[in-house]
Amino acid sequence: MDVFVALAHPARRKVIAMLRNGPLCSGEIAAGFDVAWPTMTGHLKILKDAGLVTTERSGTSVIYRLNATILEETAAALLDIGSTIMRKPK
């Protein structure tokens, strides 16, 4: 899954913002949304498949954490694209 595709949906960007404050279990994340559970698990799967979050099972709960490495690489790629565009002769 492409990181940019994963970040294209506002709900997934909100999940990323929520996880900036630390790990959360899936139920805590879902409580922040007014969507059906299957919709939420779909969003979380897309984020996981893109490498933006990692998971850890704790009993019956799944804990989600940001994968800072992927976020840093994505930010660097965006900066590189931006600087290339700015240097391009007109």
Summarised one tens digit per residue, pLDDT across range 42-75 is 999 999 999 999 999 989 999 999 998 776 777 7
- As a whole number of angstroms, the distance between CA 82 and CA 47 comes to 24
Q: Give the pLDDT confidence of 78-88 residue by residue, as tens digits.
A: 777 767 766 76
What is the predicted pLDDT for the residue at 58? Answer: 87
- As a whole number of angstroms, the distance between CA 19 and CA 29 comes to 9
Q: Which two tokens stand for residue 53?
A: 């979050």
What is the predicted pLDDT for the residue at 76? Answer: 74
Strands in the chain per DSSP E: 24-25, 53-58, 61-66
Instruction: Give the Cβ contact number of residue 9 at 10 Å.
Output: 14
* Residues pairing with 54 in the sheet: 65
CATH 1.10.10.10, applies to 3-87 = yes
Output the pTM of the full model. 0.79
- As a whole number of angstroms, the distance between CA 48 and CA 63 comes to 12
